[in-house]
Amino acid sequence: MPLTLLPDLGDLLRLHPQFNSGTVVELLRHLRANGVGGAEVLWASGPDPDHPLRDALPAARFTVRELPGSGADAGADHAQLVSFLEQYPQGRARLREAAQAEQAFVAILTAPLTAPRALSAEVLAAARDYHAALRAALGEGPGTHWRARRLEEVAAALAPVEDGLVLVPLDDLPDLLERLPGARLPDLTGFEPGETSRLRALADRAWQLREDDDLAALLDALERETGDTVTPKAELEAAAAGVYLAVGDLDSARALLERAAHALTDEVPRSLPGLVLARLGQVRDAQGDRELAERTYRAVLALNYVPQVAREAAEAGLREPFRLEGLGPAPQGPASPG
């Protein structure tokens, strides 16, 4: 079987109810059931340690193998060029052109997406146009060569691989398909998102509260579900606690967070313990239980892995007590688990 390249949206997976990290898990299961790939996924996406699939894939019993070309230093030349161009009027004009191209592509990626839509000719053409616009704005040089080098590293690592499933940034798909003639996009025939995708969408939505949300309906949905391996019950309880906290019901928020904390095991997604304990520390602080709050913050910092937003919340909580009026987005948004 040839290599199969799967599109990755990075943090944007948290925004799409029909194409989230749970959907990717279900797509992988669908492909495996049809004889494509196995339990290993080759990772050629970004280096972000808080990427939602770094939770979801291991939780779903997929092994992730890193490939070259996704290192954190890949864009160093690009960052250096931006710093240089910002010093000159012509350079700033070029950066504005590049920013406009990026905004146009982001608008496509943030519009409602499904897996078929992400792999459509229209979206892949938009990815090509985006990078062509960047080259036109920044010129062939440090602003674009870093990406070419990264793509060559990924292609070289994949060239000897005869079959497998590879996760790559969506905008890299057209270029990698050209560099890897034997690779293909996944066959979505018969694929439909299921319960894993639906639960993940519910949790992602709950971690990102909006002013116009129907909080009662959201709480009802969260409390009704039993969870699964990708989105366990402990996460649904923690997300519900965030809703209670948003309306100032500290007792209900604390009860749910303490229950979620007691349910934490080595089997839950790796972001969840840090997020649950950081928020629990804040709730204990807000109730005046400072000593226990400090112990909870220290427990966060003692974990082997802590999402950045949870680490920052714990460190801030140790510096000064958390107050309800200081409630920020943590642990909502980009650092919510899965």
- pLDDT, position 99: 78
Euclidean distance between CA atoms 106 and 227, whole angstroms: 31
Residue 85 has pLDDT above 60, yes or no: no
- What stretch(es) of the chain map to CATH 1.25.40.10? 195-335
pTM metric for this prediction: 0.89
Q: 338: pLDDT confidence band, cut at 50, 70 and 90?
A: very low
% of the chain surpassing 90 pLDDT = 69
Tens-digit pLDDT profile for residues 289-324: 999 999 999 999 999 999 999 999 999 999 999 988
Q: In this structure, are residues 269 and 304 in contact, taking their beta carbons and an 8 Å threshold? A: no
Instruction: Write down the pLDDT at residue 75.
Output: 52
CATH number 3.40.50.1110 given to 195-335: no
Which pLDDT tens digit goes with each residue over 147-202? 888 899 999 999 988 889 999 999 999 999 999 998 999 999 999 999 999 999 99
Is residue 24 within a helix (H) or strand (E), and if so which, with residue range? Answer: helix 21-33
pLDDT given for residue 154 in this prediction: 92
The per-residue pLDDT of the chain, averaged, comes to: 88
Residue 261 confidence (pLDDT):
96
Strands 3-8 and 63-66 turn out to be unpaired
pLDDT above 50 for 108: yes
